[in-house]
Structure 1
Amino acid sequence: MRGGWAPAWRTLLAVGVGVAAEALAGWLLRRRREGSALREALFFPSRATCVEALLAEEGGGPSPGPCDCPLPHQESPLSRLLAHLLAARRSLDLCVFAFSNPQLRRALLLLHRRRVHIRVVTDADYMALRGSQIGILRKAGIQVRHDQETGYMHNKFVIIDKKVLITGSLNWTTQAIQNNRENVIIIDDKKIVDVFLAEFEKIWEDFDPTNYTFFTN
């Protein structure tokens, strides 16, 4: 009997997690629409958990069915971060120093397929390292710009729909997410968001490829 019950319980648990993930994303979206103040802090390292329910395709792709992976099916700082990102409906502007985490890359590609307008600013040195996800984003058609300065492009912030800011010490790497002591805050204070948005636009223009001088004599 035990052998027969175990698969059933795993199936029920996975379905339950999928429903919970959808409910979380829906709650975040409703909260933003209703104008409720958003204030949240996330602290890392994050325990490795299954996030497949959040990253499942919508319509025509793989269904968010039962997941038999051995990872715990529970909420974590990473799942909370993904839920906020995947609540984007119109735009996502990202400044990130290092980007090698595959789950966060999958989230951006999923948003891109949902026709969310994505712009990425990153550091030229780190985007060329092995494991960087930047090349995959570019091949998918996501706009990417990088610095050509002697210093690092060391910012780490995201602006969602020009209304929500995610910022903190976290680089988008598996090392940072699973091993480092890091912090992230999520807020929708218009004054603060507007300041970061203005800075993003400035960096975006500064890193316009027409201004690159790599190949000049």
Structure 2
Amino acid sequence: MAGGGMERWCWAAVAGAALGLAVALEALPWALRRLRAGRRRRPRHEVLFFPSQVTCTEALLKEADAGCAAGPRVCGCSLPHGESALSRLLSVLLAARASLELCLFAFSSPQLGRAVQLLHRRGVRVRVVTDCDYMALKGSQIGLLRKAGIQVRHDQDLGYMHHKFAIVDRKVLITGSLNWTTQAIQNNRENVLILEDEDFVRIFLEEFEHIWEEFNPTKYTFFPQKKSSH
């Protein structure tokens, strides 16, 4: 009787262990998925504040121009070599692989202009929307971008095109108060938000496409026809 009870207890223990193992094996794929999801790169949410510390960006631009296979280039200038708000902004831009949309009121920063031209030479599709008044000012990068073959559209002086945003590869939004000018980068109190968020990117893309179509050169009316009088 005691021996039979012990035997039944052993079988019950074995059955319980087997059931626990089956449950654990069934839960294993779920646990692995959770583990992999935890290891995935989190969407980018970054804030940059200006004025930017003055650092050398030449090495960053040369490295991007040469390509990673060539290895980093060392710059011999006397500026400090380290990370700054401007270098972070450049790094986000230079990460573009397919497309870059720029919607900028003023654009005169030589470093940012070089980065955009570099992307264009690399085969990234670049489109620029800007303000007609500020694109003509001395130091503007817009003429250089057009000369490089980059598509540029502008308004017709019907109020400022005052946006300041960029979209990288249709998945990263760069927006804030910063005009892309040396004055703003080095002297002004400004902010830039870098967001990898599908909803916000979609909204800003829709706005860009709306403006891009509105500023189609075929719709320009610089020389409106005079109404005939009868």
Q: Tell me the TM-score normalized by structure 2.
A: 0.76
Alpha-carbon separation, structure 2, partners of 1:141 and 1:97 = 20
Q: Partner of 1:124: helix, strand, or coil? A: coil
Q: Please tell me whether residue 206 in structure 1 is matched to residue 214 in structure 2.
A: yes
Question: Structure 2 counterpart of 1:128, which letter?
Answer: A
Q: Please tell me whether residue 141 in structure 1 is matched to residue 149 in structure 2.
A: yes
* Deviation at residue 215 of structure 1 after TM alignment: 2.2
Give the paired residue count. Answer: 182
* Deviation at residue 84 of structure 1 after TM alignment: 0.2
Q: Please tell me whether residue 50 in structure 1 is matched to residue 49 in structure 2.
A: no
Deviations 1:112-171 (A, max 9, x none): 011000000000000001110100000000000000132100000001111000000000
Alpha-carbon separation, structure 1, partners of 2:73 and 2:142 = 29
> How many percent of aligned residue pairs carry the same amino acid?
69
CA RMSD of aligned residues (A): 1.4
Structure 1 residue corresponding to 2:188, chosen from 180, 185, 190: 180
Alpha-carbon separation, structure 2, partners of 1:63 and 1:190 = 33
Shift of the 74–200 alpha-carbon distance from structure 1 to 2, 3 Å rule, reads same
Alpha-carbon separation, structure 2, partners of 1:35 and 1:149 = 43
| 1:192 corresponding residue in structure 2 | 200
Matches within 5 A, 1:22-171: 36-56=42-62, 57-58=65-66, 64-171=72-179
Deviations 1:65-113 (A, max 9, x none): 3311111101000000000000000000000000010000000011001
Task: Decide whether the 8 Å contact of 1:45 with 1:178 is kept in 2.
Answer: yes
Q: Partner of 1:107: helix, strand, or coil? A: helix
Task: Decide whether the 8 Å contact of 2:133 with 2:157 is kept in 1.
Answer: no
* Deviation at residue 48 of structure 1 after TM alignment: 1.3
Question: Structure 1 counterpart of 2:170, which letter?
Answer: K
Alpha-carbon separation, structure 2, partners of 1:212 and 1:128 = 17
Alpha-carbon separation, structure 1, partners of 2:73 and 2:164 = 33
Task: Decide whether the 8 Å contact of 1:52 with 1:64 is kept in 2.
Answer: no
Alpha-carbon separation, structure 1, partners of 2:167 and 2:41 = 17
* Deviation at residue 37 of structure 1 after TM alignment: 1.2
Largest Rg, 1 or 2: 2
Gaps of at least 5 residues in structure 2 are 1-39, 226-230
Alpha-carbon separation, structure 2, partners of 1:73 and 1:38 = 24
